[in-house]
Structure 1
């Protein structure tokens, strides 16, 4: 892909309120510029070599734009950096996430097992880009267009969890009402339902639907999330317990696991849940 097309793709700007992110991207930009100048390449010549326009090269070197991972790989190759520029991809990847999400992303990257119950909306790991964009656009007070695109990009970047190897065991329970709300309009809704079917059929993913005819269950207070790690530790959070704060206390985790396991038992089976989503898709 020619990265020149990034001119028309928002979401790669640096968050002006993220001091750490600004510092990281400024450092990366300086290193790129120093390497380029050291080999005697002009910005326009370098841009042609890596598939970027000269203007975008200057923006990246000036710390105004987040470079794509493939840009760093190509720059490393063109400038003969021996892997030093490519090695910056990890820090650059973290900048894509808003500050408040970084700890969550770190935990998700380490988890070997994750269970999530969602009540009012679809879990961010399951959302399509258009669905996420409609959700962020509806926020009040309203986000700016740049803030919306940064939020969408960060949400999609988290979905790399589905491609991890070895794959973590992922379990999602979604309220039926969240699946019926046509966020973004009919076409966006259809694409979202199709996405749920794709994800729900992954071997390491279990997707269940909590039907509306279930009169009561332990998740009525809101979201529940439990993540487990290779060393046997875990962390959990619930909107309706422990002030909504993350907890690693064994006693509190047992309570959250009991609630989540009860919710799973009351929800439709995974096969019935996929059949339900297919039925919804057929009704649109």
Structure 2
């Protein structure tokens, strides 16, 4: 994502409209957000975000809401027009929309800890060092958007998340020892989730399949695969089957070259103990 104000996760008119329509049907059904949330198998915080227009409703959410609220197809129709404002970089919007529907998400990173795994303190350090400099309000907006995305790990319990992170990213000590300790605690906590797998690529592995850069892959409920690669001030959404095949091949090799999940946990624990 870029450093400009265009990346602030501000609600779009279409998302606000969907949120208001959703809220009206929920109230018509006589349900509070807390009562409605378990019926669609999402958290109350997600319902609140959607009704406030801060989050794009995942397709499965829309279908469940349609059924629970008996919305006459109105929510399904409104969702077709719900899009994010340039609150996310233009190249990231389509990926972010699919991310909330994915049944498989694979991420390899050799620059920093993936956003879904970051702590608030770690993320704050990154945003605080951005150039051009961000205002306090922009940083707060970025942190809120990141925290909202992280709900995917628990809101999509049937989605398989795979993360491969270079060991040196953890050892860099971004933010200092306290931030790093909290970050490692977060990673260890996440690995307790049955649908999340975290592997470290050891620094001792001087050659591996990810030297060309980060890789992100996802699989939709229709078993379609897409990829995404991001660089300085740019990003590329990938739909080409040929390119996806290459990225899948590389990611499979990376999983075999990285430490096992158990060995990765051990390395994280040793790293934390040395701080």
Partner of 1:173: 164
Count of residue pairs brought into register by the alignment: 219
1:113-262 counterparts in 2 under 5 A?
Answer: 113-238=104-229, 245-262=236-253
**1:77-123 deviations in Å (ceiling 9; x for gaps):** xxxxxxxx979616333479923254332111110001110001000
Separation of aligned partners in 1, 2:252 and 2:6: 42
Decide whether the 8 Å contact of 2:20 with 2:51 is kept in 1.
no
Higher helix residue share: 1
Bigger relative CO (Cα 8 Å, ≥ 6 apart): 2
- 1:142: how far off? 1.0
Separation of aligned partners in 1, 2:132 and 2:10: 25
Separation of aligned partners in 2, 1:159 and 1:269: 23
Q: Which has the larger radius of gyration?
A: 1
Separation of aligned partners in 1, 2:202 and 2:271: 13
Partner of 2:257: 266
Separation of aligned partners in 1, 2:131 and 2:97: 28
Separation of aligned partners in 2, 1:17 and 1:239: 14
Partner of 2:53: 91
Separation of aligned partners in 1, 2:218 and 2:117: 17
**Which shows bigger deviation, 122-131 or 159-168?**
159-168
Separation of aligned partners in 1, 2:138 and 2:195: 32
- 1:152: how far off? 1.0
Unaligned runs of 5+ in 1: 1-14, 32-71, 75-84
**1:256-282 deviations in Å (ceiling 9; x for gaps):** 000111111100011000000000010
TM-score, length-scaled by structure 1: 0.68
User: What's the Cα RMSD here?
Assistant: 3.3
Separation of aligned partners in 2, 1:236 and 1:24: 26
Separation of aligned partners in 2, 1:103 and 1:160: 18
